[in-house]
Amino acid sequence: MSQTTTQRAATRTGAVVEFSGVAKRYGTHLALTEFDLTLRAGELVALLGPSGSGKTTALRVLAGLESCDDGGIRIDGDDVSALPTSRRDMGMVFQSYSLFPHLSAGENVEFGLRMRRVPAPERRERAAAALALVGLDAHYDRFAHQLSGGQQQRVALARALVTQPRVLLLDEPLSALDAKVRVQLRDQIRRIQTDLGITTLFVTHDQDEALAVADRVAVMRDGRIEQVGTPEELYTRPATPFIADFVGLSNRLPGVVRHGFAEVHGVVLPLLDPSHPDGAVQVFVRQEDLTLAPAGPGEAGPADQSGRSLAGTVLISSFLGSLRRTSVRLAQGGTVVVQHDVRDRLQVGDSVMVRFSGAPVPVQAAS
């Protein structure tokens, strides 16, 4: 490989992408509104949200597959809002299998280079290299129907990367795959993205996927970004109850806020936002912030002496391989789900104490 090509690869990757005030309407439905997001050079940002939150629309607007009704998009400072898709210089992997069925895997990968009038020998060389990058160099002559779903998506990834695009767009590329392949390909995408240093926008509705691969995650709701942050920030300091509920697995419990603390059935917990006004609230407590202990003879009451535990009865306990998930009906009413060590076997009807770890909790004013 020539030094020039290496340098070109270095200079072509890692673009800065800026959405500013982007809006998109479908009839009367606002799919995107006041959408602001900046992707730093070489960063992988995941757009996470429930169905209909506008995440795919945002990606399609960036790709030029949808026009934006308001606002603009800049890549490295250049306004690309008016450019057709074919001239935006982006690579994209779609949710559904999108390999051209009449072309072999190698020819699929060559397609973007052919459109750029790259000479045939160089085309073949670069396509083979791109396929090698995803571990499919031996499948150059296979057609889409001769490849598994995971292999097809890897060829699609090679096809998207071979032109050295400024930005890589991934539109739920793993959603059609089975769980094991999904995790393998997810890790492979992250490794390749990090190695190439290509700015990437990854759309997904799967929070595990988003938290596992992204440098930053933007959680979307109703066409807007609710919060942008590192996976850890989102998980430990959710800005809104929606995020607390959407990211991770939380229990919702009725409680009261008094003087900057939340109280749930007598258990006092610190607030994530201590400035929250007093009043009735819904308290979000993560499953892993609760632990279970057998109820002792002196703990027959609804709360123990420490003030951090509540008594309850096991409703159901599920074995999940590496952990166990148990539902407990609290003596004061309501049900909580607790994740715990797989070796702690509980029977339905067992009396237990549910202990709160004391981690700060987000709350939402009760409606």
Binding site for another protein (CB under 8 A): 1-2, 5-6, 9-10, 13, 63-65, 84-92, 94, 96-98, 100-102, 104, 106, 111-112, 115-116, 124-133, 137, 140-141, 143, 156, 159-164, 169, 192, 194-197
Q: Closest approach of Cβ 27 to another protein, in Å?
A: 12
Q: Closest approach of Cβ 253 to another protein, in Å?
A: 44
Q: Closest approach of Cβ 78 to another protein, in Å?
A: 17
Pick between residue 121 and residue 298 the one whose CB is nearest to another protein.
121
d(CA 22, CA 35): 5
d(CA 348, CA 355): 19
Pick between residue 56 and residue 339 the one whose CB is nearest to another protein.
56
- Residue 113 gets the label, from left (phi > 0), alpha (psi -120 to 50) or beta, of alpha
Pick between residue 127 and residue 253 the one whose CB is nearest to another protein.
127
Helices (H), 197-270: 207-213, 231-236, 241-246
Pick between residue 127 and residue 330 the one whose CB is nearest to another protein.
127
d(CA 106, CA 222): 40
Q: Closest approach of Cβ 126 to another protein, in Å?
A: 4
Q: Closest approach of Cβ 71 to another protein, in Å?
A: 21
Pick between residue 161 and residue 337 the one whose CB is nearest to another protein.
161
> In sequence order, what E strands does the chain have?
17-26, 29-39, 44-48, 70-75, 78-79, 90-93, 167-171, 199-204, 216-221, 224-229, 250-258, 261-264, 267-270, 279-286, 290-294, 309-319, 324-330, 335-340, 351-356, 363-365
Q: Closest approach of Cβ 101 to another protein, in Å?
A: 6
Q: Is residue 170 a contact partner of residue 90, using CB atoms and an 8 Å limit?
A: no
Pick between residue 7 and residue 148 the one whose CB is nearest to another protein.
7
